[in-house]
Amino acid sequence: MHVVLTGGAGFLGSQVAQALLEAGEFRDSSGQMRELKKLTIVDLRPPMQRWASDPRVTVALGSLSEPGYVDSLVDDDCASLFHFAAILKADADRDIGAAVRFNVQGLVTLLERCRRIGSKPKFFFASSTGVYENGVRAVGEETRHAPSSSYGAHKAVGELLVSDYTRSGAIDGRGLRFPVVMVRPDRSQTVSDAISALVREPMRGSDVTCPFDPSLRMPVTSVLSAARATVAIHDLPAELLGSRRIANMPCPSVTIGDLVATMARRRMRDERIGAISWRVDEAAMRVFVGRPEEVDPGRGMDLGLPMDQDIDAIIDSFVEAERQSA
């Protein structure tokens, strides 16, 4: 079985790659269990994780917007495709044209290639809670899509395209809307990194300043649960998903105050953990104010998808990942 994973060197994509290699076998669109023989990692940079040396892994460096590139990646033996590559929020808002070419037209190129090979491959699409309208406190599967960013708009369009290509019989599509995914192991320019830094930096012994108001609430998930949920929904029978092919990732909701208090309790037990101070940054707050505060986990739980119990579980997951990578 050949599996293609775009964005496989990224934060979430690399965790999905590891989960795929560990699982080793999956259900194709006909329901048959098949052994993973080849995993093609597609990205602009090579993956640096240990799993990259697995003999089943092939790395293909390049952009989905390059003419003919996708045809060379998605061959007739491709049974599943996981699509995580995207231009993220800040960059998408800065250059909407480039973001549309990559996020929307790149997706169409992948879908068209899957249609032409004619074997109805499974197609996982990574969406986001950014598809929802700002100002709606709690969102569920029936909450209308009204994105307030270019990135959210591209994800909303992507959901419609994946559903339509599934309806037409070209693919067996499915996907998840991810909330804030934690904890990024490296500093980045993503809007969610300031949240990850409140865990990552103190756990590595560095003090950090929190730029958010303690009352700010948001849905969060560990990267491990997000990767496991990706593999889980990929293997679900199509009839369980019905016509609603994209589901919300089940996840807890936490306030920044809860997160900082949890870190403070850990510091009381371990003085090596760094301290967190407060200095609210209005620019940082504007990124998150008005976003959904809670995600109804009902459908995801009914589908059997994993869910972190609380912020402590997310921190524990990060600590274990740090231990394994040491």
Q: Is residue 151 among the annotated active site residues?
A: yes
Compute CA 103 distance to the chain's CA centroid, rounded to the nearest angstrom.
14
Do 123 and 171 touch, CB atoms closer than 8 A?
A: yes
Q: Is residue 167 within a helix (H) or strand (E), and if so which, with residue range? A: helix 150-167
What amino acid is encoded at 299 in this protein? R
Return the amino acid letter for 101: R
- Exposed e or buried b for every residue in 81-117, given b needs 16+ CB within 10 A? bbbbbbbbbebbeeebeebbebbbebbebbbebbeee
Residue with token string 């009381």: 268
**From 69, 132, 151, 165, the catalytic residue:** 151
Rounded (10°) angle between helices 11-23 and 223-235: 50
Structure tokens at 288: 């998150």
* Gyration radius (Cα) of the chain, Å: 19
* DSSP helix/strand/coil, 223: helix
H-state helical runs in 179-310 = 193-203, 223-235, 238-241, 256-269, 282-288, 298-302
Identify the CA nearest to 139 among candidates 154, 125, 156.
Answer: 156
Catalytic residues: 151
